[in-house]
Structure formats: structure tokens, C-alpha cells
Amino acid sequence: MYHNIMLAVDGSASSKRAIEEALRIAALAHAKVHAVYVVDKSALFNYGGYCDPQALLDALRGDGRSALGQVHAALVAAGVQGDEEIIETDNLSDDVATCLQRHSERLGADLVVMGTHGRRGVPRLVLGSVSERFLRFSTCPVMLVRAEAETEAERPA
């Protein structure tokens, strides 16, 4: 059974559904939820000449505090033990998926729960997929949660 569940959040709709699923599992298993939000510092280099890097970093951390505040409220409401933490990529060559993997190993996570946008085709090629990359090299079970099921009419051709 699961004892340590790492919940990766980013404030998206799929992330909010992942919170619900992680809390359900944690309540059933009497597990602790470790919620994390990753600040990707590579954005600082992408916009370095256009804005103040410290202001951008503060804004990214503010987004993280907001997303983790939602997790904290959900943990309290569900009566589930847990904590929240903002983690940051180490350097330019580090990415969000690698940062999450490193953190899940440090925590000794039995399960990682995270949202996925479920993009396919060109959008996935252009935007990439943190969840897919994480899933490929994760050393523990991973639960991917979509925002909502698409109807046939909403699916790309």
C-alpha cells in the first residue's frame, strides 16, 4: 500500500483533478501527501533581456504559493496529512520532469500523482510533455490525471 504520495501541481485544471485523486488514495491508504510545485528557472534565461529576472522569479514563486495554497486547503478539508513545498530546477540543463524525479527519490515516494493535458500531435511536439517525460524514467508508480474526458466532437482530427 502507499505511504508517501508525491503530488505534483501546477495550478492547471488537470492538476486540480490530480489533487482530488491523490486525496482519495491518501485517505484510503492513510498515506501522507507531499505536494510540490516546480519553479522552472530556465524561464529566467529566456526572458533575461526583457524583464527583471528577480521579479520574474518572485512571480513564479507566487504562482507556486497560490497552487500549493489550494492543496493545503484541500488537505485540511479532507483530513489528510500532508505538506507543501516549492522546489526549483538547479540549472539551465535541468528540466521540470528531472527535478520532480530527483525529488520523488529524495522523498521515497511510493506513488506520484500529477495532471496531464493529454495533448497529441503537433501541440505535444511543440509544447512537450512534462508528465510523459516523467513517466518514462520514473522509478515508482505514476498516476496521470486528465482535466476532463473529451467528447468525440472535441478531439482533434
Domains for the chain: give ranges and CATH numbers. Answer: 4-149 (3.40.50.620)
pLDDT in tens, 51-102: 777 888 899 999 999 999 999 999 999 999 999 999 999 887 789 999 999 9
pTM (two decimals): 0.85
Residues sharing a CB contact under 8 Å with residue 156, sequence separation 6 or more, in sequence order = 120, 121
What are the angstrom distances between the C-alpha of 101 and each of 21, 36, 38?
A: 20, 12, 11
Whether 49 has a pLDDT exceeding 80, the answer reads no
